[in-house]
Amino acid sequence: MVEQYKDRKKQNSLELRDQQINALNNWVRLLQKALTVEAENGFKNIHGRAEHFNSFLSREIKEFKSPLLSNEIDKKLTLFAKSFDDYPTSDLPIKRRLIIDARQLLYRLSKEYQIKDIPSPPKLRMSDSQSTANDIRQHLRIDSPLGEVKGVGTKMCECFAALNLFVIKDLLFHYPRDYVDYSSLKRIFSLVPGETTTIIATIRRSNSYTSPRNQNLSILELHLEDMTGRIKISKFFIGRRFSKRSFLKKQESLYPKGTIVAVSGLVKGNSYGKSFNDPLIEVLEHKQALLKSQTIGRILPIYQLTDGLKADRLRQIVHSVIPLALDLEDPLPVNTRESLSLLDKGEAIKQIHRPRNQEYLKKAKRRLVFDEFLFLQLGLLKRRLELGKCKAPSLFINKEREGFTEQFLKLLPFALTNSQQQVLTQIESDIAMSKPMSRLVQGDVGCGKTVVAIAALLRAVESGWQGAFMAPTEVLAQQHYLTLCKWLPQLHVTVELLTGSTAAKERKRIFADLSNGNLKIIVGTHALIEESVSFRRLGLVVVDEQHRFGVNQRNLLLNKGLHPHLLTMTATPIPRTLALSIHGDLDVSQINELPPGRTPIETQLMPSSERYQAYEAIKEQLDIGSQAYVVLPLVDESEKLELRSAIDVYHELSSEILSEYKVGLLHGRMHSSEKKGIINKFVNKEIEVLVSTTVVEVGVDVPEATMMVIDHADRFGLAQLHQLRGRVGRGTKDSKCILIDTAKSLASKNRLEVLVNSHDGFEISEIDLRLRGPGQVLGTRQSGLPDFALANLVNDETILESAREEAEKILKSDPDLIQNKLLKIMLDDYWNRLVTKTQLN
């Protein structure tokens, strides 16, 4: 132990000295650079960013301290500092001499204190086990059942079946979910705690013992060295049977003194120095010996597992069938691969499972991500081409007379913004054509998408057709219906609401009016896609918050007409990457202006300890005649989550804190008639404070509501918080939103600060996308996102753009993929698998 302690002390001392030398050399380089710049500028005492040259030199010399500097050097530096204080008033020859002397002294210091270059580590000779490759390819095919692979029995086949892996091809397309990189080969001195790496070193000694604190734990320690330093390795054995002295002695004998070993693992660091705990170890006959291990010194794949399937065993099986990847046909021709700098498909599969190095892994990922995006874009663009061949109703607009749309726009108490007018013009141009429009309108909360949708619906009506307006919730459908009822009766255009709670008698009347054409516009929820709903002449379908509907639901409504035009809308702004992925078959428009008079909502972040201040702020708003929301993530108390619930907070506010005010409760478990009643009371100011869950996220429009408190804001995504915040500030009064952060972490605080500093929905959505991923941003299983194996919509934007360009090029020359038969087969297979997993918008 004494010798071990001395070794560690010596190692720590050497490392400390090297740190001091590094600091000294960095300081010398900084001063030398300043002296050079001053000399090049004619000794004019140039002014830097914050101070003059002489002030900078004098301060740096006075402040720098190093135990490496002798008393004599210290005295010289002190004299230089004083000389530089007098530098501005000195003559030119004195300035020149001073700079030359200073540079000479610094040069001597840099030469005296240098870290010796660390010799590069020896190379590892890897075994690729190619001898069995030909044998495997003779006996197995890419579509052979996994049960035919050597070492795979019935039980393992059941494990593979649990992962939907049945044939060898399935296994090859079961990509690693992560990697451990042992490919970085280093000398002991260069090891950095927290990194995974590999070293080749010599054993100085070994010893073993059973832990005095835990008789079930035995430890083998190996002390290694190379020409740059020393390090300790610990191997752990858990179990009483391993505590026998005979076992431990046998372990020691496996690693005799002077043996060369290759070691891969995670470098640990503590007060005693650096070490490896339970690394991978292989004894080498000599430094140039062939390495037998298939893991040491390599990039190790980490796979998704299931019960009964161990990581090492799965790696062995995948490794054994990798040669069959070369039998995979490549759907892309050689010239395409070369122009896009893509690996061959088989080589990419091989490198994704067994990468030669990080560069090859990067190339393999790029090729396979490209394929995923290519199949997605081909499918979306083909759908778009097929839709373009269909004949749609041409909603002709007679510009010579004032139609419903012009009358509606005149009724509005405001003019359309330039952005609204531009999008409406795009829509009118689309619906005048005889091919179906498919357009997505994106816009921030409160930008006026609904007004544009109403104008488009009125164009359909004045052309002699009917319109349907579908929303995902009854609350939102009710809100759209009330908005339409404000204007359409004045134009003598009929409008009705159809939801799951519509009475049977009403439904019967609505169905009859729709089918005979008397009803021009219908607003509703999923009830619109019921079989009993029949239109006489459906010309335009508007779908709000469209990402909440699956493609089948959307198509069921479209199929009630003869290829009607489709206008979809979302208030969750989607970055271009995401829009291309899930809306690649749609034209995308953006309303990027807010109507005049809308003031930005002041947003404030509070810790949970200051919750009472938020309630005081609510009281201030209520006392001047405004209304407020209090939003919570849960309806009721949860045993698993320590969160305040809407019901608990409602009782607390109504009976104690805000007992003198009218407080209401709204949540998703309520019957639709109850929800409707509560919202109406809030609209009519019979309720002053509405305690709610995210039911109010969309569709509730109360201009007098100027205050919102979102409790447990850390439990919501940024895009969702932005949506919620948009429920206030809908009038002309100043509005405020308070976010209560209960997470008590810096990461949570920094995330929520994004909302405090930004009101740009696209910026917020982009940040949210990077933090949480697209599935959570869209917040629904029916978001339309495919289940990518490797592709990442955040990081792979350039590959997506490239794949879309290639898809357009392919379909332009071969729209039915007749000349690309293999690509067509793989595309059909991709979309068949996709449809079974998700509903793609």
- Please give the average per-residue pLDDT across 35-63, as a whole number: 86
258: left (phi over 0), alpha (psi -120 to 50) or beta: left
**Angle at which helices 2-40 and 53-63 pack, to 10 degrees?**
160
Q: Which residues pair with 569 in a beta bridge?
A: 441, 544
Superfamily for 125-177+303-327?
5' to 3' exonuclease, C-terminal subdomain (1.10.150.20)
Q: Look at residue 651 and tell me whether its pLDDT is greater than 90.
A: yes
pTM of the full predicted structure? 0.70
Confidence of residue 650 (pLDDT cuts 50, 70, 90): very high
Give the tens place of pLDDT for each residue, 372-401.
Answer: 999 988 988 888 888 878 888 888 766 667
Q: Look at residue 566 and tell me whether its pLDDT is greater than 80.
A: yes
Fold agreement (125-177+303-327, 405-591)? no
**Cα torsion angle, 335, 339, 345, 346, sign:** positive
Q: What is the pLDDT of residue 158?
A: 93
- Please give the average per-residue pLDDT across 444-472, as a whole number: 90
Q: Look at residue 768 and tell me whether its pLDDT is greater than 80.
A: no
Please give the torsion angle defined by the CA atoms of residues 415, 419, 420 and 424, in that order, rounded to the nearest 10 degrees: 130
DSSP 655: I
DSSP 365: H
Please give the torsion angle defined by the CA atoms of residues 14, 20, 24 and 30, in that order, rounded to the nearest 10 degrees: 120
Q: Is 83 helix (H, G, I), strand (E, B) or coil?
A: helix
Give the tens place of pLDDT for each residue, 705-715.
Answer: 999 999 999 98
Structure-token pair, residue 431 = 């619906």
- Please give the average per-residue pLDDT across 810-823, as a whole number: 91
629-647 burial string, b = 16+ CB within 10 Å, else e?
bbbbbbbeeeeeeeebbbb
Confidence of residue 841 (pLDDT cuts 50, 70, 90): very low
Architecture category of domain 602-758 in CATH? 3-Layer(aba) Sandwich (3.40)
- Please give the average per-residue pLDDT across 741-760, as a whole number: 87
Q: What is the pLDDT of residue 403?
A: 85
Burial of 479 (0-12, 13-18, 19+ CB in 10 A): buried
Contact 605, 709 (CB under 8 A): no
Give the tens place of pLDDT for each residue, 241-258.
Answer: 898 999 999 999 999 999
Structure-token pair, residue 374 = 């290519």
Contact 612, 449 (CB under 8 A): no
Chain-centroid distance, C-alpha 569 = 23
- Residue percentage of the chain with pLDDT more than 90: 43
Mean pLDDT of the residues in the chain: 85
Contact 261, 284 (CB under 8 A): yes
CB neighbours of residue 244 within 10 Å: 12
Q: What is the pLDDT of residue 580?
A: 64
Structure-token pair, residue 216 = 């079930």
Architecture category of domain 405-591 in CATH? 3-Layer(aba) Sandwich (3.40)
Residue 59 vs residues 26, 35, 51, 81: alpha-carbon distances, Å: 16, 14, 10, 7
Contact 251, 208 (CB under 8 A): yes
From 467, 494, 497, select the one nearest 480 (Cα to Cα).
Answer: 497
Structure-token pair, residue 826 = 């793989």
Q: What is the CATH code for 188-301?
A: 2.40.50.140
Residue with tokens 């054993």: 203
Q: Look at residue 800 and tell me whether its pLDDT is greater than 60.
A: yes
Q: What is the pLDDT of residue 833?
A: 66
Q: What is the pLDDT of residue 837?
A: 45
Q: What whole-number distance in Å separates Cα of residue 546 and Cα of residue 665?
A: 27
Give the tens place of pLDDT for each residue, 532-546.
Answer: 899 999 999 999 876
Q: What is the pLDDT of residue 50?
A: 75
Residue with tokens 């004599």: 72
Q: What is the pLDDT of residue 165?
A: 93
- Please give the average per-residue pLDDT across 768-794, as a whole number: 63
Rg (CA), the chain: 36
Residue with tokens 């990067």: 362
Q: Look at residue 429 and tell me whether its pLDDT is greater than 80.
A: yes
Q: What is the largest CA-CA distance in the chain?
A: 105
Residue with tokens 């004299």: 79
Q: What whole-number distance in Å separates Cα of residue 26 and Cα of residue 549?
A: 60
Structure-token pair, residue 208 = 């073993």
Can you give the residue ranges of every domain in the chain?
2-112, 125-177+303-327, 188-301, 405-591, 602-758
Q: What is the pLDDT of residue 838?
A: 38
Confidence of residue 773 (pLDDT cuts 50, 70, 90): low
Q: What is the pLDDT of residue 129?
A: 55
Q: Look at residue 205 and tell me whether its pLDDT is greater than 90.
A: yes
Residue with tokens 């109406």: 680
Q: Please tell me the number of Cα atoms within 13 Å of 185 on its side-chain side.
A: 16
Check residues 525 and 126 and name the one with the higher pLDDT.
525
Q: What whole-number distance in Å separates Cα of residue 730 and Cα of residue 597?
A: 10
Residue 466 vs residues 427, 478, 560: alpha-carbon distances, Å: 16, 19, 11
One-character DSSP codes across 575-588: -HHHHHHHSTTSEE
Q: What whole-number distance in Å separates Cα of residue 617 and Cα of residue 598?
A: 21
806-838 burial string, b = 16+ CB within 10 Å, else e?
bbeebbeeeeebeebeebbebbeebbeebeeeb
Q: What whole-number distance in Å separates Cα of residue 7 and Cα of residue 223?
A: 10
250-261 burial string, b = 16+ CB within 10 Å, else e?
ebeeebeeebbb
Q: Look at residue 642 and tell me whether its pLDDT is greater than 70.
A: no
Check residues 770 and 370 and name the one with the higher pLDDT.
370
Residue with tokens 């810790």: 607
Contacts for 235 with CB less than 8 Å, ≥ 6 apart: 219, 220, 221, 222, 251, 278, 281
- Please give the average per-residue pLDDT across 220-242, as a whole number: 91
Q: What is the pLDDT of residue 270?
A: 80
Q: What whole-number distance in Å separates Cα of residue 592 and Cα of residue 419?
A: 6
Q: What is the pLDDT of residue 6?
A: 54
Least confident of 70-79, 555-564, 773-782: 773-782
Confidence of residue 641 (pLDDT cuts 50, 70, 90): low
